[in-house]
Structure formats: structure tokens, C-alpha cells
């Protein structure tokens, strides 16, 4: 009997697995660029990327809640990652409450508020803190999974949802920067580098999750229920 033919996807992953890291990075960057180009020409309102990012993030959290309520176990989850996630969400909720306040004396606005915005300085600082915390909040979870070597399905789905969420959010940033010729990074020319710092934080989080998403897709295409992490 002849050998069973492998699917094109398995052949592709097999070829990619044998390549050196430079080739893998090049292929990943190329796929990402083609995806961005496709999104640019198919989605007219780039704000939809932000909505999609948050929607996928919520879907990941729902998967996590489903696991906790049905399996009655939190094995495979990093407590530190969940604590960081809760902290940056609490900071953002607090900042949103402050930023929606409209009745503020003009004298205080002149001293405490950035010239190009009406928000309190403390709210902006806390908002930035939330963004930076979000960028590294997944690190303890990835560290835990690498130490465990194996990742059970629901945890893998949850972290993959975070990766997809970051892709849409990153696409939103990149396309906004492209459309404004780079001016989007400098907060409409006010001289502050908050947008640049926020973009770098977004990129850091995206690259942190890229490696996991690669192994997730590899396991999914091969029909493996339990995901294996590299040493």
C-alpha cells in the first residue's frame, strides 16, 4: 500500500519547521503585510478594527469563563496575568470615568490638562499606565505555558483570542499611521510622544503573542487537541 498523502497545510508547516529563524520571521512578516493590505482595501472604516479587537478579546474572556464554570478548574492559567489584566482594566475604567467628566473649572484645565485635550493629567498618566501594563500582562501566562510544555484547549483558545485581538488592534494603528503620513504618532503635532509610546507598546504585545499563535495554528491544523509548546 502506498503512503498516505499529507495535506498541503501539513506539508507547508513541515517545510516551515525545517527553515531557520530568519526564514520563519520573513514568512511571518510577509503574511502580516499581505493581511494588512487586504484589510486596507476591504474595510473602509478603520475604527472597525478597534471594535473587532475588543470583540475578540471579549470572546477570549468568555471562553475562559466557560472553562472555569464547566470544568471547575483554573489549571494552566497564570494568576499573575489575570491580576495584571484586572489591574489595567480597572485603571481604564477609572480613567474613562474621569475623562467623561465635563464640568471642570477653566483655571484647573489650564494647569492640569494637556493643551490639546480636556482630560486631567492624572487620567492621562493612568491611561498610559494601563496601556503599558496590558502590553506585558500576558508574559506570566506564556512563561507558565512554556514551563508546563503542554497547553490544554480552553487556555490555548483564550490566549489565541488575545493574539487575534492584538492583530486587529495593531492593524488599526498601522493603517491610521499610514493614512496620516505618520502624523498620527505625534498627537496632531502637539510635541508629545504618547501615541508613539502607545504604538510601541502595542507592537511589543503583538510580537509577544506572535510566537504562541504560530504554534497554536500548527497544532490546530494537525488536529492536536493538546497544544505542545517548544522548550
What residue spans define the domains of the chain? 8-13+43-228
- Residue recorded with cell 493574539: 163
Return the CA Rg of the chain: 21
pLDDT at 228: 66
Q: Give the pLDDT of residue 107.
A: 34
The pLDDT assigned to 111 comes to 36
In this prediction, residue 224 has a pLDDT band, given cuts at 50, 70 and 90, of low
Report which of 206, 174, 168, 225 is spatially closest to residue 28, judged by C-alpha positions: 206
What is the average per-residue pLDDT within 57-61?
A: 78
pLDDT at 194: 64
Comparing 166 with 225, the larger pLDDT belongs to 166
Residues in the chain, total: 231
pLDDT digits (tens, 9 = 90+) for 145-203: 777 777 777 778 878 888 888 888 878 777 877 777 766 666 544 446 667 777 777 78
| pLDDT beyond 60 at 56 | yes
What CA dihedral angle connects 165, 75, 231 and 25, to 10 degrees? Answer: 0
What the block records as the C-alpha cell of 4 is 498516505
Residue 27: all three cell numbers together: 514568512
Q: Evaluate whether 158 touches 63 at the Cβ level (below 8 Å).
A: yes
pLDDT at 110: 32
Selection from 8-12, 123-127, 198-202 with the highest mean pLDDT:
198-202
Distance between CA atoms of residues 42 and 12, nearest Å: 27
Across the range 93-115, mean pLDDT stands at 42
Alpha carbon distances (Å) from 155 to 5, 66, 105, 138, 206 = 32, 11, 48, 12, 18
pLDDT band at 210 (very low <50, low <70, confident <90, very high): confident
Beta bridge partners of 151: 227
Q: What is the mean pLDDT of residues 125-143?
A: 73
Provide, rounded to the nearest whole percent, the portion of the chain with pLDDT above 70.
63
Question: What pLDDT sits at residue 94?
Answer: 64
Q: Given pLDDT bands bounded at 50, 70 and 90, which one contains residue 118?
A: low
Q: Which helix (H) or strand (E) holds 54?
A: helix 47-71
Element (H, E) at 150: strand 150-151
Mean pLDDT of all residues belonging to the chain = 69
pLDDT of residue 214: 76
* 10 touches 221 (CB < 8 A): yes
Amino acid at each position: 500500500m502506498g503512503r498516505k498523502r499529507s495535506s498541503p497545510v501539513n506539508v507547508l508547516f513541515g517545510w516551515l519547521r525545517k527553515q531557520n529563524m530568519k526564514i520563519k520571521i520573513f514568512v511571518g512578516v510577509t503574511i502580516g503585510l499581505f493581511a494588512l493590505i487586504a484589510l486596507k482595501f476591504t474595510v473602509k472604516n478603520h475604527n472597525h478594527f478597534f471594535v473587532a479587537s475588543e470583540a475578540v478579546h471579549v470572546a477570549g474572556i468568555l471562553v475562559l469563563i466557560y472553562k472555569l464554570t464547566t470544568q471547575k478548574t483554573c489549571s494552566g492559567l497564570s494568576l499573575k496575568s489575570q491580576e495584571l489584566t484586572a489591574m489595567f482594566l480597572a485603571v481604564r475604567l477609572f480613567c474613562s470615568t474621569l475623562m467623561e467628566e465635563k464640568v471642570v473649572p477653566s483655571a484647573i484645565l489650564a494647569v492640569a490638562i494637556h493643551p490639546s485635550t480636556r482630560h486631567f493629567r492624572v487620567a492621562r498618566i493612568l491611561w498610559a499606565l494601563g496601556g503599558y501594563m496590558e502590553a506585558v500582562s500576558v508574559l506570566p501566562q506564556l512563561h507558565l505555558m512554556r514551563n508546563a510544555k503542554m497547553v490544554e484547549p480552553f487556555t490555548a483558545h483564550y490566549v489565541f483570542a488575545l493574539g487575534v485581538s492584538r492583530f486587529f488592534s495593531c492593524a488599526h494603528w498601522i493603517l491610521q499611521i499610514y493614512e496620516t503620513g505618520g502624523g498620527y504618532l505625534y498627537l496632531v503635532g502637539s510635541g508629545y510622544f504618547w501615541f508613539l509610546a502607545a504604538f510601541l507598546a502595542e507592537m511589543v504585545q503583538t510580537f509577544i503573542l506572535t510566537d504562541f499563535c504560530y504554534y497554536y495554528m500548527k497544532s490546530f491544523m494537525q488536529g492536536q487537541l493538546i497544544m505542545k509548546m517548544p522548550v
